[in-house]
Amino acid sequence: MRVHESILELIGHTPLLRLKTGIPPDGPAAYVKLEFCNPTGSLKDRITYYILKKAMDEGRLKPGDTVIDNTSGNTGSALAMVASVMGLKSIVTTPEKTSKEKIDLIKSYGAEVIITPEVEDHDDPEGFFMVARRLAEENGYFDLNQYHNQDNVEAHYISTGPEIWEDTGGRITHFVCGIGTGGCFSGAARFLKEKNRDVQNIAVDPEGSIFAEYIRHNREIKGYAYKVEGIGSDVVTGALHPHLVDEVITVSDKDSFNRARLIARTEGISGGGSSGAVAFAMEKIAANLGPEALIVGIFADAGIRYLSKCYNDNWMRQHGYLPEVEVN
Ligand SMILES: Cc1ncc(COP(=O)(O)O)c(C=O)c1O
């Protein structure tokens, strides 16, 4: 029989699928890793399961305890799902810009959701980051703290990296990944570099985020607001290991959203805005590569989370992202 006893057994081992959009036919092989095939629909199932299981195994957490974190949404549903299976309570803080679909999904797994105002400064006590830290401190909640938790990186070092290496038969030459906390990029990139130091690790950052300047020039600038969710940051995170970055590519909201929509309409792969950003960067990389190269990009979550956003024509038009004549 091929059966499973727990939803947690279905985390990881996500498929690699050929990507054609933007890749020259006589150019490199290009694949995307569909992290939306994880139970709650994003790569975050890997880190929440790894971190909570490790804490349980080490006696730092027990059933009935409360776990908390701040999130752009995906870690929220992953945390809530894993917590519910492990008999834990969960609280999530998230900013106003998080889509209704994501907030409803988090609640559907039984978590309490605290929506915080958009704040200028990361350290603003009213912002989702500081509210989570304060509540954890005041109530003794287990703080997942994904931005700085090295177990976030470890989760991808022991799962995402080895899966990519195995599923490409060790032929991968270029790894392309969006950076939010930086955990997925840093964990998988470290593993792939250990296997073959010639593998090129390409980080994808949205325009407006501070990461690109920090990675290129070790300078912390003031970022500006952008709409793509899950990647980019206004602070340097501990989960990002810049020494592993061979190249960083910045992508605009407009290019991210339009690429995600194009791929959904032409290849039936419905990813979120950060997947569009990764696919856009893969096109840039592929333009200078031949058939001997093999690119793998991370599609972190699914388009179904953004039906009221980048997959909504009015929303796209309102924000000036929809080109006059949409490519079909
Ligand atoms: C949609 C989306 N893309 C990409 C990422 C980046 O993942 P990481 O936090 O591991 O850098 C995230 C993280 O939340 C995400 O939600």
* Chain segment 154-178, per-residue pLDDT in tens: 999 999 999 999 999 999 999 999 9
CA of 224 to the centre of ligand 1 (A): 19
Domain that holds residue 50: 44-143
Residue 301 CB–ligand 1 contact under 6 Å: yes
Task: List pLDDT tens digits, range 233-257.
Answer: 989 999 999 999 999 999 999 999 9
pLDDT band at 324 (very low <50, low <70, confident <90, very high): low
* Domain boundary residue, one of 143, 167, 198: 143
151: in domain: no
Going by CA atoms, what residue is nearest to atom 14 of ligand 1?
Answer: 230
Pairing of strands 247-251, 200-206: parallel
290: in domain: yes
Residues 6+ apart with CB under 8 A from 133: 70, 143, 145
CA distance 96 to 117: 6
33 and 51 part of one domain:
no
Q: Which of 44, 193, 254, 309 is catalytic?
A: 44
150: in domain: no
* Domain boundary residue, one of 89, 109, 143: 143
CA of 236 to the centre of ligand 1 (A): 15
Distance of CA 244 to the CA centre of its chain: 17
- Whole-prediction pTM value? 0.95
264: in domain: yes
The pLDDT of residue 328 is above 60: no
Whichever domain contains 285, its CATH number is 3.40.50.1100
Task: List pLDDT tens digits, range 4-42.
Answer: 999 999 999 999 999 999 999 999 999 999 999 999 999
118 and 245 part of one domain:
no
Report in angstroms the alpha-carbon separations of 294 from 54, 165, 172, 282: 34, 11, 5, 11
Contact 1, 243 (CB under 8 A): no
176 and 212 part of one domain:
yes
Contact 196, 169 (CB under 8 A): no
The structural domain count of the chain equals 2
119 and 240 part of one domain:
no
The pLDDT of residue 326 is above 90: no
Residue that has been written with the tokens 């339009």 in this structure:
258
Task: Please report the pLDDT score of residue 2 as a whole number.
Answer: 86
Pairing of strands 142-143, 112-116: unpaired
Residue 94 CB–ligand 1 contact under 6 Å: no
Question: Residue 44 catalytic?
Answer: yes
Helices 160-167, 183-195: axis angle to 10 degrees equals: 50
68 and 102 part of one domain:
yes
265: in domain: yes
33 and 175 part of one domain:
yes
CA distance 248 to 253: 16
